[in-house]
Structure 1
Amino acid sequence: MEEHASSSSSSSQLQPSLDDCLKLFRGERDEQRLAGLLVVTKFCNKDDHTAIRKIYDALGPQFLHRLLRTGIGKGSDVGSSDNRDAYLQLSITVLAAFCRVPQIAASEEMINKIPLILEAISREAGSPIIEDCYEYLFLVSTASEEGVQTLYKSGGLNVLASQMMILPDGSHMIELALRLVQIIVIKLPSENVYSEHPTDLSLVVCAVAKQFAVLQNALKFEALHLLSTILSNRYSAPVYDALRLVENDVWSTNLWIGILAILQNRVAPSHKLHALVLTECVISIVGERWLNGEMNLTGSQVSLPADRCILLILESSRVEIAVLLNDLAYLKYEASNASSNRENILVKQRNLGVAFSLVEKIIKLISSFGGEESTANAIISESTFTKIISGLNETIGVVLDYIRDAKEHGQMKGDDLLAAVRVIGSYLAEAPDACKDKVIELLGYILSIEGEDELSPFYSICFLLPMLCQITLETGGCKILASSGAFREVVGYLIALIDQNNFTSEDNGSIFLACDTILNLLLKEQIKFPSDDPSFIRLLVALSRWAEGMDDASIIMMASSICSLILDLTSEEALLNHPDFISGDVGNLSKLIRRSFVMCGQLTNSCSDCTQDLISDDAKAEVDLFQIITAGADFHGGPQVHVNPMWEPRHKSAPWPVGDIVHQFIPGLVIESFWPYCFLSLSFLILFFFPFLHFLFLVPLLL
């Protein structure tokens, strides 16, 4: 025993102490400092911040900087390759240990070494020092704002993107790389990062997607959060474009498998929400078909049935919608202090928007089957299709209940309400009879809902237009709009669209949907409207001005046909007494109806080249609309015009019919029978071939 104690005591006396190392660090020669470093790395604890601080102060930053540069091959005394590798490994190991002290990591000396560390990562791929390099970068970047800015400006994101795919799955290095990217995208201005490095971020998404699919530990959730952060950013459009250019779809397959693993297991609600956010982003990039299809994970036996994804996402979205709507109703209508819950309400509204968007994408996928059950069954099974429809019906019912609750509390404004109207409109456009009783009960209120930034209802009407257009094909649907007064909202929406005067292709689609809806209403004889309804008079003025200067035959014919039906409905007194109707509007209406006659192809075989531009194939296709116009002109017992039954107009004597409008344009012309049509055509022929006779028509106007 005495011999063993004596041996132990002598060994402890031989082991160097920290003070001995500090003396070496203060030596005059680099060889002494190098020997001290080799010794201290063997016994100094990396978590002993006090000891590390003493070593750093004794050694000084200049020696480590020279050692690092020599290891990379940039020093004045480069030496042999073996020495350089040893110097590089020693310097990076010591630097990473020093940076465990936050004050050292935030120092200017450490921040300035970031470019050298990035260079070492690029040169030494697969080297044992790479892990220490990533640890150094992570510690310096988290210690100060200057650290992450220097990392970004030194090309850190590019280096990380190029290296992440080759790092071992689930390793500490890939974990540090994930966190470094997370720091960059969160702490730095997104508009700069996403616009300057879309390709690098797309490579990061591909690499992280692989980890998200294969890992089954806590790092899987970190990968999930990073992916949802990158792809859900408002500036992520360039990244979407870069991902669409990726040669293979392995990344989207990996995301498919990772998302399903999250949704079908018991995980925290926040993780499921991130999975839904990520799902919405992926569908926005690759399309709705991603929801359905059998996926196999490369290099494994994992295989999931084709229907699993769409059912899981629909069910998860439905649950999220039900929970969020219930929470929002409580916070807005029952909580003691709703104003203090404002931030909580905004967060829940954003989450609700994600769930609504996913439901809309599933509706779009189902509608892409074209309503053919056989086509749908060829892609998804009949039982799955039935489950989807049943789930959608139930969810739309829940959303309508939320709308009813808002109505009962007098709420007319809110982005959550507007989002609810949008998802309702998306589904009812495909299934107009769904939840029919609730829709009829709430239709007038729904059309009056406004978004937070809207001054009057607009988008709520836009979202419901496809459904309104479909239900007004039947008399029952028209009665619903007429009895609820909802038709006035549609008329107001159409006028607002026309008044914008800067139409996009999407606006044109909405304009024609609104026109079709109003046309369906006006053509139903069973529906009675007041003859002095101001909304129709305002529409008359708007349509005549809209068509002015337009050469599109479909616009002119549609506007003219609706004007014809409104004139058939409106009294002369109401028209002339309306403040929005001025004398110039009579001329606009006259020109509109005249052009509609011309565009019908009356002069196809007899007009010169100059008038051929006015005749188009589209105009020839508008026969039904032309019959509505000519039927409106026939008001004094002339011959009845045959019209397709679905466009059958009312034939009755009206105080201000189309005939009088044409009479205003060409005084002395009375349309009472078949002959006036011949006279009208002959008049235009004379004008085209004998323009010097135009005075015959201008003199009455001047008088």
Structure 2
Amino acid sequence: MEQQSSTSSVQASPSLEDVMRLLKGNTDSQRLAGLLLVTKFFDKNDKPTILAVYNAVGSTFLHRLLLTGMGKGGGGANIDNADRHAYLQLSVTILASFARLPELAATHEMLSKIPLVLELMPNQSNLSLTEQCFEFLFLVTTAQEDGAMTFYRSGGMNVLASQMHAFPDGSHVMELTMKLVQFIISKLPAENVYLEHPVELSKMVSAIARQFARLHNALKFEALHLLSALLSSSYSGVLCSELQSLISDDWAVNLRIGVVDVLQNRVGPAEKLHALVVAQHAISIVGEDWLIGPTNLPDGHSSFPAERCILLVLESSRVEIAVLVNELAYLKYEASKNSHPDSETFLGTLRNLGVAFSLVERIIKLISKLGENEESNKAPIINDSTLIKMIGGLNETIGVDHGDRKGDDLLASVRVVGSYLAEAPPACNEKVKELLGYMLSVEGDEESSPFQSISFVLPLLCQITMDNDGCKLFASAGAFGAVVGFLISLIDSSDSSVDNIGTITLACDTILNFLLKRDQFRFTLENPCSVKLLQALVRWTASKSDLSMIMMASCICSLILDSTSEEALLRYPEFNADDLVALSLLMKRSLVTHGQDMMSGDENSEADLHEIVTSGYDSWAVRFPHIKQVVGR
């Protein structure tokens, strides 16, 4: 019986010659029968057979069969739905088989089918058919010089966005769609893809984020790399805006779950860096609070606390900073010996370092924000010992031991350390003493003198000048001259932006804090630095009508004048009679204006400044006869 069954089966299998005769037949029914036999009895990966079938059937019949299956053929109206679906399934199966041969996928005939295949897909619910469609699209699109653009112009982005969310996690069809997305964004101009399809890209990110969270195989890392690429584009701003609007979507939670999975397991350094990049962009989109939250899937159970993510990102960033700074030091050393350094490697390492520093800075901001929330009774998410460990690691990165003082990587270190120390607990006061002078001396690659480093440290300087010990450190570290020089540069920059005005005000606050306490530790103001500050403040207020700015500048000037005399001031070559006239007018303006306008809103603070000006004037006016004459009191 078994032998008879086997013989019958063999006899039922047609030979390739029989199939070829049918495919080359004179009627459509013969060709249709031949294609059905091909799909039923022959291996879809048998390349010689597939090539023979392609040459035998020709492109015209297959094109008509596809149109008929779509209901667009000439006789399509007379065919019932079941037959039409069968024709569609057959034509797509044959097309997908043809596309598996690179030489066929690269033909114009296959390229011309991309618009038709994309057109039929929105109306299909059959997963098997959809998978074959995407297999065809991927193979042909990637095999053609114009494949990516044809796919894009034929509505491919809309099809991807509308279907990816419905595919089973980890399925082959999901893998195909992710590869298509990767190919499109790598081949086409980013400005076109991102600016024309932000909504579609946001839906793709959501679908890919789900794979990143749920899978535990190689496809998880493909999802990670794709998310990193999508979010890192210089044109991704519109995409990020769309993601912000997906409030009810769980894409952000999925990103957090995936990032935690990667960072807490043994994976390669490249994968950890990609995870940190994804974390950085997630925080940029939804804020620092993203770092704290559930790290398990809705249908799963996790014993990890809500702060698991922030602790992992913090520690991973700290490790990466140490590693990357060493790499940069080595690359700089090699570049000094080689006239042709590897600039791509250097810039890539610098970018990665920027990601790690950015994450640490965002964590510092989150900690500060939580600390300021007096209404919250939650336990601290990170204890002081963890933070001190972090700052200790950062201390190693900024080059104190080997004395480097120039480089954008060092500037990034100063920015992060300065941000933390401005919010630091008292336990880190020793770190301020160790690092302040160094941080004030760091220059960027394009700077001839420190500027950005002082900007980064300014919040810290304003904090420490609020008490006597901090002012002593401020003086001993040379911070007064550094901040004065920085302030003068800002005033002379002609930048009237809100950020710049805010920075000038912060610098003035710092200088004022220091000057009010300088009598408690011997610090002389009789130097060119103070004279230049007087001139700069006069220039700054000359065209200003904001009373708070006028009072702040006058207050600083009054404190400086209290340490000198008109005769001594005029001995400085850079200070002349015109400067004295302008300074006199500023003092008069501050004294007279306050009496005319009681300054609603900021009355108390400006009244305090006015008190400093008037008490100072009463003290030094006798030594400045010209100013006294102009003021008239």
TM-score (ref. length: structure 2): 0.91
Q: 2:507 aligns with which of 514, 518, 521?
A: 514
**Structure 2: distance between partners of 1:542 and 1:356:** 34
Deviation (angstroms), 1:334: 7.8
Map of 1:497 onto structure 2: 490
Map of 2:362 onto structure 1: 361
Structure 2 letter corresponding to 1:568: D
Per-residue Cα deviation, 1:54-78 (whole angstroms, up to 9, x for no partner): 3223322222222111111111121
Counterparts in 2 of 1:56-455, with a 5 A limit? 56-78=54-76, 79-294=79-294, 297-302=297-302, 304-333=304-333, 340-371=341-372, 378-379=377-378, 381-382=379-380, 384-386=381-383, 389-405=384-400, 408-409=402-403, 411-431=404-424, 433=426, 435-455=428-448
Contact persistence 1:590–1:661 (CA under 8 A): yes
Mean alpha-carbon deviation: is it higher for 128-137 or for 231-240? 231-240
Contact persistence 1:369–1:375 (CA under 8 A): no
Map of 1:53 onto structure 2: 51
Map of 1:622 onto structure 2: 606
**Structure 1: distance between partners of 2:108 and 2:611:** 83
**Structure 2: distance between partners of 1:630 and 1:49:** 96
**Structure 2: distance between partners of 1:509 and 1:169:** 50
**Structure 2: distance between partners of 1:129 and 1:483:** 76
Structure 2 letter corresponding to 1:319: V
Counterparts in 2 of 1:22-33, with a 5 A limit? 22-33=20-31
1:537 aligns with 2:531: yes
Per-residue Cα deviation, 1:35-55 (whole angstroms, up to 9, x for no partner): 221222234333333432332
SS in 1 for 2:412: helix
**Structure 1: distance between partners of 2:511 and 2:53:** 84
Q: 1:548 aligns with which of 529, 542, 567?
A: 542
Q: 1:632 aligns with which of 612, 616, 619?
A: 616
**Structure 1: distance between partners of 2:446 and 2:140:** 43
Contact persistence 1:328–1:345 (CA under 8 A): yes
Deviation (angstroms), 1:138: 0.9
**Structure 2: distance between partners of 1:204 and 1:230:** 10
Per-residue Cα deviation, 1:286-319 (whole angstroms, up to 9, x for no partner): 1222222345532334464223222222222222
1:44 aligns with 2:62: no
Q: 1:598 aligns with which of 592, 602, 605?
A: 592
Structure 2 letter corresponding to 1:476: D
**Structure 2: distance between partners of 1:435 and 1:427:** 10
**Structure 2: distance between partners of 1:455 and 1:110:** 59
Contact persistence 2:252–2:282 (CA under 8 A): yes
Structure 1 letter corresponding to 2:371: G
Identity of aligned residues (%): 54
Contact persistence 1:432–1:467 (CA under 8 A): no
Mean alpha-carbon deviation: is it higher for 458-467 or for 176-185? 176-185
Per-residue Cα deviation, 1:536-591 (whole angstroms, up to 9, x for no partner): 22221221121122221111100111122223335546644556545443333233
Aligned length: 629
Structure 1 residues 28 and 587: alpha-carbon distance in aligned structure 2, compared to 1, 3 A threshold? farther
Map of 1:649 onto structure 2: none
**Structure 2: distance between partners of 1:77 and 1:626:** 93
Deviation (angstroms), 1:479: 2.7
Structure 1 gap segments, 5+ residues each: 605-613, 639-652, 670-675, 677-703
Deviation (angstroms), 1:529: 4.7
Structure 1 residues 249 and 41: alpha-carbon distance in aligned structure 2, compared to 1, 3 A threshold? closer
Structure 1 residues 556 and 443: alpha-carbon distance in aligned structure 2, compared to 1, 3 A threshold? same
Mean alpha-carbon deviation: is it higher for 456-465 or for 494-503? 494-503
Root-mean-square deviation over aligned CA pairs: 2.9
Structure 1 residues 334 and 139: alpha-carbon distance in aligned structure 2, compared to 1, 3 A threshold? closer
**Structure 1: distance between partners of 2:454 and 2:35:** 74
**Structure 2: distance between partners of 1:209 and 1:541:** 57
Deviation (angstroms), 1:494: 0.9
Contact persistence 2:335–2:341 (CA under 8 A): no
Deviation (angstroms), 1:154: 1.6
SS in 2 for 1:634: helix
**Structure 1: distance between partners of 2:525 and 2:307:** 55
Contact persistence 2:562–2:619 (CA under 8 A): no
1:561 aligns with 2:555: yes
Mean alpha-carbon deviation: is it higher for 39-48 or for 96-105? 39-48
Map of 1:680 onto structure 2: none
Contact persistence 1:593–1:662 (CA under 8 A): no
**Structure 2: distance between partners of 1:620 and 1:168:** 65
**Structure 2: distance between partners of 1:438 and 1:429:** 11
1:660 aligns with 2:619: no
Structure 1 letter corresponding to 2:481: R
SS in 1 for 2:191: helix
Structure 1 residues 302 and 158: alpha-carbon distance in aligned structure 2, compared to 1, 3 A threshold? farther
Runs of 4+ in 1 over 6 A off after TM superposition: 6-11
Mean alpha-carbon deviation: is it higher for 487-496 or for 101-110? 101-110
Contact persistence 1:491–1:539 (CA under 8 A): yes
Deviation (angstroms), 1:418: 0.9
Contact persistence 1:397–1:435 (CA under 8 A): no
Mean alpha-carbon deviation: is it higher for 302-311 or for 91-100? 302-311
Structure 2 letter corresponding to 1:212: F
Deviation (angstroms), 1:193: 1.4
**Structure 2: distance between partners of 1:10 and 1:470:** 93
